Chain A
């Protein structure tokens, strides 16, 4: 295993992100080849976290572009501050400013609102650009993004073309709301993140909730692993595991029992049909997890 690769793994671990080797490898290659990394996986497995941890580890800025239906270029690149421009125009009324001078003033940096992509291009040190939930944006936005990702320059008609001096590290995440275009996939390296296995999840919980009783953390993780085996509408992610562990730890529990689980199931499951379903098969679950019943 090359040194740099272990260095990245170590770096991630240091920041509290328990990465497996395929995650470390993808990040390593994406950084070395200067390509965006497209991360897909079920909700709550820590896709967004990858970008956050990367920014921390590289000690650089994290710039986030949250995608949503109807997101367009102006929200991603730049916008003129129209309100201020209008006010400025009003103020200049009656003064003897020439039309060209006025135009120059109005379309200057003062009135330019930088949106995430322009922001990322104009940094002094390569930032991490997180494009979150790209599949929520329209297909047209995706094509627009392709252009930016290949050229790293933005043209503002009134000012000119701005080219990036330091290429950002790009992390794109998706929840598979819709299928992403082949073109975007080809521009990126691809990483599929699965739910962590028991050992990894245990390490995550013990890392994130330091004061937790070891016995309790083992039971929680086993329980979560079993839950994901059940066919639920919304399988719980790692985020839920951490929430649950933190909640139970703060209540100073040392082990799971039926009552505790029933009372706190809402932390883990967010769908009422799932909750009902799990409640029905709770004793069966406990058998699998190996919790001794105390009634």
Chain B
């Protein structure tokens, strides 16, 4: 029979173990080792002083900024619940068994809910696995982002990260031996010559380490595009270890660099901050002007031949086409590869009829859509190194 999660415990150590279990349901990853640490710390922490006790458990059990912020609330909640459980037990004794079973039942019900929630989550995870292996759930991968419900969006966000993770190829840090004479490898030279006596017969070389790619994202966040931008940024950041650096800019009527916010905060929070800071405008995106600003203020430091520039926009430009054309030309020159993703391009029969899009097309290396999971999967190879400049 399943037990309610929070029960009266007789010893301090049992309480701590139970508290750890409680935290686990709150997405704290706590293993036996952490539990052991917490128990060991009892030996030198006075448990009479609640404040010290709380601080000690906090430093032992909270393993990220978010968890540290949440910890106090969980701590208070737990001991309050525990008190209730203790009181309930006392009442039980007084009122006899009838009430006890009722009480137990309600507790059991709430535990059932929790369990089914846990179970449900487990099932969801399985589903994700299935999608990540590209086999099932075709529907979801083909569904347009803008047509999804909140739950589906969350699911897809996680799915995107999984796909990204499975795609990144691990690279070895060890220098590869090479006959192309690039860099003297003293370590191998030493070993080679030692085997052949004391004189130095030959030098050995290794390849220079590959420079990683850099990525610059320019995302349109005008109202029609906001959702797609969110996905793309999320998607790209799942790859972040594969790149030397990623710089993210968002624009509607003006350009804003958001790399620092994305780096500093957890993803959802980062977007809240970004949307607080940057006003949305439903119409009137000034793509040309924003790109010109980008070139003037940032291109010098960010762009080189190892940089891929991705622009995500529907191409509705209310500025002068000439400005956009100049900006695009400069970008094409300075960047290693220029990619434009347009979510509208996914719809059947799409033709680049918007002036902005038409102006930009000749300068692009890749023009693709990014309106659903499937299309994002398709752009993955484009984000890798080792391909020559692609023609459209």
Residues in A with CB closer than 8 Å to B44 are 2, 4, 32
Q: Given A70-B209, A72-B173, are A82 and B190 also a contact pair (CB < 8 Å)?
A: yes
| Minimum C-beta distance from B44 to chain A (A) | 6
Residues in B with CB closer than 8 Å to A152 are none
Set A22, A138, A185: member contacting B64, Cβ < 8 A: A185
Chain A window 71-114, contacts with chain B (Cβ cutoff 8 Å), 1 for yes, 0 for no:
01000000010110110011011000101001100100000000
CB closest chain-A residue, reference B170: A140
Interface residues of B in 187-203 (CB under 8 A from A): 187, 189-190, 193-194, 197-200
Q: Given A32-B41, A33-B41, A40-B65, are A80 and B58 also a contact pair (CB < 8 Å)?
A: no
Whether B194 pairs with A106 at a CB distance below 8 angstroms is yes
Q: Given A4-B44, A86-B190, A106-B194, are A185 and B200 also a contact pair (CB < 8 Å)?
A: no
Q: Could you tell me the distance between the alpha carbons of A83 and B29 in the complex, rounded to whole angstroms?
A: 48
Whether B198 pairs with A21 at a CB distance below 8 angstroms is no
- Residues of A in contact, count (CB < 8 Å): 48
CB closest chain-B residue, reference A79: B187
Give the secondary structure class of A's interface.
helix
**Interface: A178 (CB within 8 A):** yes
Q: Given A1-B52, A82-B189, are A189 and B60 also a contact pair (CB < 8 Å)?
A: yes
Whether A80 pairs with B62 at a CB distance below 8 angstroms is no
**Interface: A191 (CB within 8 A):** yes
Residues in A with CB closer than 8 Å to B190 are 80, 82, 85-86
Q: Given A35-B37, A83-B186, are A29 and B56 also a contact pair (CB < 8 Å)?
A: yes
**Interface: A44 (CB within 8 A):** no
Whether A82 pairs with B59 at a CB distance below 8 angstroms is no
**Interface: A177 (CB within 8 A):** yes
CB closest chain-B residue, reference A32: B44
| Minimum C-beta distance from A273 to chain B (A) | 9
Residues in B with CB closer than 8 Å to A92 are 198
Q: Given A25-B59, A80-B187, A93-B199, are A186 and B41 also a contact pair (CB < 8 Å)?
A: no
Which 5 pairs between the two chains have the least Cβ-Cβ distance? A82-B186, A26-B59, A25-B55, A185-B63, A192-B65
Give 29 pairs: A residue, B residue, CB < 8 Å, sorted on A.
A2-B44, A21-B55, A22-B55, A25-B58, A25-B59, A26-B59, A29-B41, A32-B44, A33-B37, A82-B186, A85-B190, A86-B190, A89-B200, A90-B200, A92-B198, A93-B199, A97-B198, A99-B197, A103-B194, A140-B173, A176-B263, A176-B264, A177-B263, A182-B29, A186-B31, A190-B59, A190-B62, A192-B68, A233-B260
